[in-house]
């Protein structure tokens, strides 16, 4: 099981809702063929955020989402044109160890996404603290919660209601250095959103564009 997070940027006037809805039949076929059993897309203005899970071999977004270049701008830096740029997994409450372990036993969770911006000089500190947290206290939050990083932008994917359960493995650290005042220690790391709604000054909620799941070989939108 491999978890994938990507970031994209819409072209001027792009309408991601209608674009991806028109390609749902083809997307379902590709997901079933490539053993991708869950995929979600969120947006914030022109920015798109993609999350999906590969049951076996890792597959690039372009293998799943056809003609994406009609909607998205090209990201520079790749040997081939790319419309989605990968985000690094810098924190997860759990990591999948088997198909059975990762099965959603409480029914179909609802994907939920948020974004935040780090001060560039605070990126290393943020990753440091989160690695401590991840390896000292695995399973301390939603089983499917994961944070991706690209440049200094964070994408937090989780599912509601949260699944909190024990993990079938031990963390890599035996220390206990995670700050107890977690929120107080984390707040100075962020550049706050200037146009945020109340309660979203740091973590802005994303709008869901698409959510597709194909559990146990059965198509399901």
* Length in residues, the chain: 221
**Rounded mean pLDDT, 80-100:** 93
Q: Does position 107 have pLDDT exceeding 70, yes or no?
A: no
**Rounded mean pLDDT, 128-153:** 97
For the chain, how many structural domains are there in total? 1
Q: How far is CA 216 from CA 37, 75, 100, in A?
A: 8, 34, 11
Q: Does position 148 have pLDDT exceeding 50, yes or no?
A: yes
| Number of helices and strands in the chain (H, E) | 6, 11
pTM greater than 0.85: yes
Mention every residue, 6+ apart, whose C-beta is less than 8 A from residue 9: 46, 47, 48, 72, 73, 75
Q: Which helix (H) or strand (E) holds 29?
A: helix 24-34
Residue 217 has what pLDDT?
Answer: 45
- pLDDT band (50, 70, 90) for residue 154: very high
CATH of the domain at 32: 3.30.70
Domain holding 63, by residue range, is 2-217
Q: Does position 216 have pLDDT exceeding 60, yes or no?
A: no
Mention every residue, 6+ apart, whose C-beta is less than 8 A from residue 59: 34, 36
Q: Six-digit token pair at 101?
A: 């372990």
């Amino acid at each position: 099981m491999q978890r994938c997070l990507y970031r994209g940027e819409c072209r001027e006037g792009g309408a991601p809702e209608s674009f991806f809805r028109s390609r749902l039949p083809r997307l379902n076929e590709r997901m079933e063929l490539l053993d991708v059993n869950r995929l979600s897309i969120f947006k914030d203005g022109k920015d798109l955020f993609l999350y999906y899970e590969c049951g076996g071999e890792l597959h690039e977004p372009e293998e799943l989402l056809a003609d994406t270049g009609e909607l998205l701008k090209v990201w520079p830096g790749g040997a081939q044109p790319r419309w989605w740029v990968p985000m690094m997994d810098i924190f997860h409450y759990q990591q999948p160890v088997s198909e059975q372990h990762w099965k959603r036993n409480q029914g179909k969770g609802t994907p939920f996404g948020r974004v935040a911006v780090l001060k560039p000089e605070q990126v290393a500190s943020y990753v440091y603290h989160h690695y401590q947290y991840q390896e000292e206290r695995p399973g301390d939050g939603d089983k499917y919660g994961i944070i991706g990083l690209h440049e200094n932008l964070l994408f937090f994917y989780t599912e509601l209601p949260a699944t909190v359960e024990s993990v079938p493995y031990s963390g890599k650290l035996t220390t206990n250095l995670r700050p107890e005042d977690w929120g107080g220690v984390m707040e100075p790391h962020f550049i706050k959103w200037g146009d945020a709604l109340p309660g979203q000054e740091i973590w802005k909620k994303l709008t869901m564009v698409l959510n597709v799941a194909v559990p146990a070989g059965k198509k399901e939108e």
